Amino acid sequence: MTRAELVERLAESVNRWMLEEKQRREGIAGDAIELGPREKFTQSEAEVVVNTVVESIIEALRRSEKIELRGFGSFRLRTRRPRQGRNPKTGTKVEVPGKSVPYFKPGKELRELLNPAGAANEPDDESARD
């Protein structure tokens, strides 16, 4: 899923929720009610939300903070020590500096949703390529 697809899905989901709430408030069921143009959650608004979440995660990682989204997972930095590598073309030794890399650890709930108990662990076409 791309960022653009996430933005589109968020806008659709919020609009669906807003329509259900309006129907509940007004006691009308079915297609008899619609959201007005000013009531709709726009793609631009959804993009602001997605960008804010992503930027917040990045900023927290820059401050070396752990980000935990219950049921989904956590983001943190892992530090790699400096090491000695080799240039694959020439074979000469090269110093590789230490660095911090982002790491995602899925939460228990996400793992259970992706790997239900009793389900066959056969890889799909996409994961077989990785």
Residue 78: which CATH number? 4.10.520.10
- Do 102 and 53 have their domain in common? no
The whole domain housing 46 covers 1-63
- Residue-level pLDDT at 127: 56
Q: Is residue 12 part of a domain?
A: yes
Based on the fold, state whether residues 54 and 10 are members of the same structural domain.
yes
Q: Is the pLDDT of residue 66 over 90?
A: yes
Instruction: Measure the CA–CA gap between 112 and 119, rounded to whole angstroms.
Output: 11
56 and 80 fall within a common domain:
no
Angle at 60 between CA 13 and CA 53, to 5 degrees: 15
Q: Rounded to 5 degrees, what are φ and ψ at 101?
A: -125, 140
**79 and 41 assigned to the same domain:** no
129 pLDDT more than 60: no
Cα diameter, the chain: 75
